[in-house]
Amino acid sequence: MEIKRKKMIFNSDEIKAILPQRYPFLMLDRVIEITDTTAVGIKNLSVNEAFFEGHFSNKAMMPGNLIAECLAQISAFVGIPYQDMKAIGNAPQIGMLVASNMKFLQPAIPGDCLLLQVKVRKLAFDMAIFYGEASVEGETIAKGEFTIAYRR
């Protein structure tokens, strides 16, 4: 059975077919926008996420490095026609080389819906520099630049 949503290009099953990551490191729940230079995705945070257990003793918060990983994963979808991705079933493999100037402004907590937005700043060979932002309810909670290497 095919389920349609107005704001969804890829659902979680299709994301699993494209990205090599698996639970607990598959961080995307939905891809909602793709252009040649941008991508937007969603990560829903549940209290059942493994990283909430014991990261901070008294407060469940998503670690900043995992927010950066969310941004890196959505960047894999930039600039590749999604019809081609669905047909091929495989995006280029990516690896985040470095996150620079990442700022974590507010914590991500259980119940949050992270809106993940990335934009290409510079392309060179099989590498790209991205600017990314993670927001909750319209408020930016993390932002910064990171470099991605592609292996096609």
Domains identified in the chain and CATH numbers: 12-151 (3.10.129.10)
Residues with Cβ within 8 Å of residue 30, at least 6 apart in sequence: 5, 7, 8, 10, 11, 12, 15, 41, 42
Q: Give the pTM.
A: 0.84
pLDDT at 28: 93
The set of catalytic residues is 55
DSSP H or E segment with residue 96: strand 93-104
Q: Residue 67 and residue 77: Cα distance in Å, rounded?
A: 17
pLDDT at 6: 67
pLDDT at 124: 80
How would you write the pLDDT of the chain (152 residues) with one tens digit per residue?
566 666 778 888 888 888 877 777 888 999 999 988 999 999 999 887 777 776 566 788 888 888 998 998 898 888 655 555 555 555 556 665 677 789 999 999 999 999 999 999 988 877 888 999 999 999 999 999 988 876 66
pLDDT at 96: 59
